[in-house]
Structure 1
Amino acid sequence: MVIGRKAFVFGGENIPRVPISNIVHCLDMDTCTWSELSTTGDVPVPHNAHSAAAVGQVMYIFGGRTGINMGEGSFNELYAFDTRSNIWTLLKPSGVAPSPRSFHAMAVVANRLYVFGGCGEEGRMNDLHSYDIASNTWEQQPTNEDIAGRGGAGLIAVGKDLFVVAGFAGKETSDVYKYDTDSKTWSKLALDKELPPRSVFGITSMSTFIIVWFGEVDPSDQGHLGAGGFSKDGYMMDTCSKAGWELISSSGETPEARGWMQVAPCQLNDTNGVFLFGGNNLDNKRLNDCHYLSIKL
Structure 2
Amino acid sequence: GHRGYSLGGYCSGEDYETLRQIDVHIFNAVSLRWTKLPPVRPAIRGQAPVVPYMRYGHSTVLIDDMVFLWGGRNDTEGACNVLYAFDVNTHKWSTPRVSGTVPGARDGHSACVLGKTMYIFGGYEQLADCFSNDIHKLDTSTMTWTLICTKGNPARWRDFHSATMLGSHMYVFGGRADRFGPFHSNNEIYCNRIRVFDTRTEAWLDCPPTPVLPEGRRSHSAFGYNGELYIFGGYNARLNRHFHDLWKFNPVSFTWKKIEPKGKGPCPRRRQCCCIVGDKIVLFGGT
Q: TM-score range by the shorter chain?
A: 0.7 to 0.9
Cα distance, 1:25 vs structure 2:
0.7
Is contact 1:17–1:48 with CA below 8 Å preserved after alignment?
A: no
**1:209 corresponds to which of 228, 243, 247:** 228
Is contact 2:68–2:83 with CA below 8 Å preserved after alignment?
A: yes
Question: What whole-Å deviation, never above 9, does each CA across 1:163-195 have from its counterpart, x for those lacking one?
Answer: 111111022111211111111111142223223
Q: Distance in 1 between matches of 2:13 and 2:135?
A: 28
Cα distance, 1:240 vs structure 2:
1.0
**2:90 corresponds to which of 85, 93, 102:** 85
Equivalent residue, structure 2, for 1:119: 124
- For residue 130 of structure 1, give the secondary structure of its aligned residue in structure 2: strand
The structure whose Rg is larger is 2
Cα distance, 1:39 vs structure 2:
6.0
Equivalent residue, structure 2, for 1:28: 28
Q: Distance in 1 between matches of 2:88 and 2:38?
A: 11
1:99-248 matched pairs, under 5 angstroms: 99-121=104-126, 122-143=129-150, 146-169=154-177, 170-190=188-208, 191-219=210-238, 228-242=240-254, 244-248=255-259
Q: Kindly provide the amino acid, as one letter, of the partner of residue 92 in structure 1.
A: R
Q: Distance in 2 between matches of 1:212 and 1:92?
A: 35
Structure 2: gaps of 5 or more residues: 41-48, 178-187
Question: What whole-Å deviation, never above 9, does each CA across 1:188-214 have from its counterpart, x for those lacking one?
Answer: 422232232111100000122000011
Q: Distance in 2 between matches of 1:246 and 1:21?
A: 41
| Identity across matched positions, percent | 23
Write 1 or 2 for the structure with the bigger share of strand: 1
* Superposition CA RMSD, Å: 2.0
Q: Distance in 1 between matches of 2:162 and 2:149?
A: 18
Cα distance, 1:133 vs structure 2:
0.7
Q: TM-score, normalised on structure 1?
A: 0.83
Paired residue total: 262
Does 2:282 correspond to 1:275?
Answer: yes
Q: Distance in 2 between matches of 1:183 and 1:13?
A: 36
Cα distance, 1:21 vs structure 2:
5.3
User: Does 182-191 or 149-158 show the bigger shift?
Assistant: 182-191
Q: Distance in 2 between matches of 1:7 and 1:115?
A: 22
